[in-house]
Each structure stands twice: as structure tokens, then as C-alpha cells.
Amino acid sequence: MNARRTARPDARRAVVYTRVSTDGQELSPEAQVAACAQWAARRGITIVATFHESVSGGAEVADRPGLLQALAELRTAGAGVLLVANRSRLARDVMQAAVAEGLARKAGATIESADGVGEGSDPTAALLRHIVDAFAQYERAQIASRTRAALAVKRGRGERVGMAPLGTQVAADGVHLVENTTEAAMLRRCRTLLADGMTVRATAAMLAAEGFTTRTGKMPHPTTVQRIRTQMLAEVAA
């Protein structure tokens, strides 16, 4: 049997988990890692692995592969600590935070926060962690509520909501669409490559090599190319 998997959890070894989402402005993964590294250094703890993912803090633990990998690594690496920059990075849902805590306990580990909130195993510390999780869930709900209200106002004004189709952008009047020349050029080239039989990944790589970018200035991702391919197939079937 693998000795690493049977090793007793060591509280001097930690696995770091970072998370970002579209819920609002938040710490970058780099800033989260830096905060965790400082916390670990002050306590003489060695970080043995780091996992990151982009997902909503309200998502179920079962739908968060990055968090599941971090929890599994606790056993693999014999780590006794799952470390996050703050509790909201673990989850913005009380139930999901509790699920993560339970899985960490089964691995013989604790979940610690680099900001020091709720640190310790006494009842007061546990209560504080629950309070922080509840406020994170409340904040997430508030953000969602404000977003819905803002979208409703825009719809009431007749303004366009949602992302403009590929190759276009919302005009200054907030209603009509105009061509985004940079993305439109990428879109035309992408369609040509796909029509010639190139695979999705090869097309994305070719577009990047040729210097094409999306409206945000980023290189085309295979996911974007797949969306274009799906649209092309739908046009043929129509």
C-alpha cells in the first residue's frame, strides 16, 4: 500500500485552495496564494499543494472539482490543514461550507483561514466561522438581488442586457449593436478554418498564433471556437 496515503495527517502540512467567481470584485488567485503563504510562514507550516478554480461560491461541493481535488490531496499528502485566504473563498453558502468542513474532518484535517477569522477549535471559534459563512451567503444573495434590479431597470429603459453576440458590441446608445472589428475579424477567420476541417483545439491554436483576439483582447479559447462551430452547424441544419 502507498505509504503517503496511510500517513497520519500532519498539522504542519497544508493544502491551499483558492477560488474566484463572477459574483463581484474579489481577491485574485495570486493575492489569495500570497495571503496563505504568509499565514503558513508565520506558523512554520509547509504548503504542499495548491488548487484553484473559477466557480460560484454558492455551487455545491460536488460540482467543484478544484475543491474536491484539494480535499482529496489532504489524504494523499498527509496534510492536516486545508488553507483558504478567507472563509468566503471556501464557500458563500452555509450548507456547502459545512459539507467541506465535514469532508476535511473525515480526512483528519481542519480548514483554516489566512485572515485568522474563526481560528481555533473551541465552541466560540466554531460559532464565529458559522456567522462568517452566513454573512458570506447573505452577501451573495444581496449581489444577486442588486444585479436583478439593475437588469430590470435597463430593460425598463429599453436598453440591451446580456452579452452582445460574437463579432459585435453594444453601441453608445445602449440599444443597438455595431461591429466589433477586432472580434469580427477573428470570427471570420475562425469560420474559415473550421470550414476547412480543422479541429476546435487546432483552430484556437492557429488563431492565437496568427495574433487574433476577442473583444477583451484575450486569445481565443477552445470553448469560444466550439461555440462558433455549434452555431455553424445550426446554420447548416436550419
Looking at 136, 152, 186, the residue that finishes a domain is 136
pLDDT at 50: 96
Confidence of residue 92 (pLDDT cuts 50, 70, 90): confident
Closest CA to 190 of 216, 165, 221, 159: 221
Model confidence, pTM = 0.56
Per-residue pLDDT, 2: 45
pLDDT computed for residue 21 by the predictor: 80
CA-to-CA dists, residue 84 to 43, 110, 211, 237, angstroms: 15, 11, 37, 48
Between residues 234 and 16, which one has the greater pLDDT? 16
Q: Domain count for the chain, please give it.
A: 2
> 106 and 7, same structural domain?
yes
Same domain, 118 and 61: yes
Average pLDDT on 2-11 reads: 64
The per-residue pLDDT of the chain, averaged, comes to 83
Q: Tell me the residue range of the domain where 173 lies.
A: 168-237
Which helix (H) or strand (E) element contains residue 47?
Answer: strand 46-54
